């Protein structure tokens, strides 16, 4: 037997892979249930029966569904995502730029929102039930209550069209410098931050408040420690597990759930790429995207689990 933590990690990863496999099967079934097929969708209103038949033959759609699924699966296991049915381009190439963009946006949104949420949460605890707490909670809850497209359009109208500070179209390309890129993504980052902030902030506040009820915090206070030290040294480490869980869920959301923000700001990320291919019934691309999304979710959740285990000695030594 190895180290208990390593065992646990190995177990989680194996479960994750199994989940991924099941997810890919489910997605394939889902795309088969949808009406219409890729040949018809590609040709659209200009689909003559001959053209559809020719295209079906060319794309290998005449094979039974399970044959196509296992062909695809064996390709993926060998590291080959294949080519998109709809335009014959390499999927790996298409996805890699989109994924890079998505991660770029997500990481800047995370870099802004996570520290902000935790700090605001700590402040809210410190001034609980007084005006700073109410102000922080009020603003962040208001911003999560507004739909993200509404916040996006408000920002576009005032900040971009009226004031002209930042562009409303956040299209990136290779020739841009980092500064130009950051300028381009400012508005979407602000919207995403406002959307995920409240959840993380409230959870930080609740988790720490929960710990603050404990006897050992009272002891710490009676020792005469100043309030921030109490929170930092005694309350925060014990509250970290639920906070990390919420942070990870929100990070996952920043990667996989931002289609609306991508559409509003015309950001060339994974979401729009996936939607385009779903409507074209381009199964290999949908599968590849879904696989990436599923692995992001699963790996972030594994990280959350591991952090909670490491942070909590009781979980580290299971009976």
Partner 1 sequence: MTQHINYLAKLAAQGKLGRREFLGKAAAVGVSTAAAGSLLSSAAMAEGPKKGGTLIAGLGGGESTNSLDPATFLTQVSHDFGKCWGETLVEVSRIGEVEYRLAESIEPSADAKTWHFTIRKGVEFHNGKTVTAQDVLKTMQRHSGEDTKSGALGVMRGIKSMKAEGDVFSVTLETANADLPYLMSDYHLIIQPDGGMDAPDAGIGSGPYKVAVDEPGVRHVGERNPNYWDSSRGHADQIEIVVLNDATARTAALQGGQVHMINRVEPKVADLLERVPGLQVKSVSGRGHYVFLMHCNTAPFDNNDLRLAMKYAIDREEMVDKILRGYGSVGNDMPINGGYPLFSEDIEQRTFDPDKAKFHFKKSGHDGPVLLRTAGTAFAGAVDAAQLFQQSAAKCGITLDVKREPDDGYWTEVWNQQPFSASYWGGARPVQDQMYSTAYLSTADWNDTRFFRPDFDKLLIEARGELDQAKRIALYREMGVMVRDEGGVIVPMFNDFIAAVSDKVAGYQDDPSGEMMNGFALAKTWLA
Enumerate binding residues for partner 1 (CB under 8 A).
34-37, 40-46, 48-51, 54-55, 57-58, 84, 86-89, 94, 97-98, 153, 156-157, 160-161, 164, 167-169, 171, 173, 263-266, 268, 272-273, 276-277, 279-280, 282
Smallest gap, in angstroms, from Cβ of residue 13 to partner 1? 32
Smallest gap, in angstroms, from Cβ of residue 275 to partner 1? 9
> Given the complex with partner 1, which of 121 and 271 has the nearer CB atom?
271
> Given the complex with partner 1, which of 110 and 286 has the nearer CB atom?
286
Q: How many CB atoms lie within 10 A of CB 257?
A: 16
> Which residues, at least 6 apart from 55, have a Cβ–Cβ distance to it below 8 Å?
39, 42, 43
Question: Minimal CA–CA distance to 299: which of 7, 20, 3, 64?
Answer: 20
Instruction: Give the span between the Cα atoms of 80 and 9, in whole angstroms.
Output: 27
Q: How many CB atoms lie within 10 A of CB 222?
A: 8
Instruction: Give the span between the Cα atoms of 73 and 93, in whole angstroms.
Output: 18
The 3-state DSSP class for residue 164 equals: coil
> Given the complex with partner 1, which of 283 and 304 has the nearer CB atom?
283
Smallest gap, in angstroms, from Cβ of residue 60 to partner 1? 14
Smallest gap, in angstroms, from Cβ of residue 103 to partner 1? 16
Instruction: Give the span between the Cα atoms of 252 and 258, in whole angstroms.
Output: 10
> Are the beta carbons of 118 and 204 closer than 8 angstroms?
yes
Smallest gap, in angstroms, from Cβ of residue 32 to partner 1? 13
> Given the complex with partner 1, which of 98 and 205 has the nearer CB atom?
98
> Are the beta carbons of 42 and 280 closer than 8 angstroms?
yes
Tell me the CA distances in angstroms from 14 to 7, 19, 68, 315, one per residue in order: 11, 9, 25, 20
Smallest gap, in angstroms, from Cβ of residue 142 to partner 1? 22
> Are the beta carbons of 111 and 117 closer than 8 angstroms?
no
> Given the complex with partner 1, which of 68 and 280 has the nearer CB atom?
280
> Given the complex with partner 1, which of 121 and 188 has the nearer CB atom?
188
> Given the complex with partner 1, which of 30 and 115 has the nearer CB atom?
30
Smallest gap, in angstroms, from Cβ of residue 288 to partner 1? 13
């Amino acid at each position: 037997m190895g180290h208990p933590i390593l065992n646990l990690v190995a177990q989680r990863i194996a479960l994750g892979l199994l989940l991924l496999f099941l997810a890919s099967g489910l997605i394939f079934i889902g795309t088969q249930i949808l009406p219409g097929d890729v040949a018809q969708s590609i040709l659209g209103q200009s689909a003559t029966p001959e053209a559809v038949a020719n295209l079906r033959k060319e794309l290998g759609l005449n094979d039974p569904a399970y044959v196509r699924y296992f062909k695809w699966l064996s390709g993926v296991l060998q590291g080959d995502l294949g080519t998109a049915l709809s335009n014959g381009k390499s999927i790996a190439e298409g996805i890699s730029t989109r994924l890079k963009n998505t991660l770029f946006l997500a990481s800047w949104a995370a870099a802004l929102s996570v520290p902000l949420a935790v700090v605001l949460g700590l402040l809210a605890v410190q001034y609980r039930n007084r005006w700073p707490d109410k102000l922080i909670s009020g603003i962040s809850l208001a911003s999560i209550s507004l739909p993200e497209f509404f916040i996006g359009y408000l920002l576009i109208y005032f900040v971009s069209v009226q004031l002209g500070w930042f562009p409303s179209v956040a299209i990136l390309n290779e020739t841009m410098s980092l500064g130009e890129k950051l300028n381009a993504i400012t508005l979407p980052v602000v919207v995403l931050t406002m959307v995920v902030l409240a959840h993380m902030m409230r959870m930080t506040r609740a988790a720490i408040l929960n710990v603050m009820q404990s006897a050992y915090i009272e002891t710490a206070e009676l020792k005469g420690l100043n309030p921030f030290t109490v929170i930092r040294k005694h309350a925060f480490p014990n509250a970290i597990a639920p906070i990390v869980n919420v942070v990870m869920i929100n990070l996952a959301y920043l990667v996989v759930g931002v289609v609306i923000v991508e559409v509003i700001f015309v950001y060339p990320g994974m979401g729009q790429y996936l939607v385009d291919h779903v409507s074209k019934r381009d199964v290999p691309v949908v599968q590849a995207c879904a696989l990436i999304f599923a692995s992001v979710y699963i790996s972030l959740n594994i990280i959350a689990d591991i952090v909670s285990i490491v942070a909590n000695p009781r979980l580290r030594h299971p009976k």
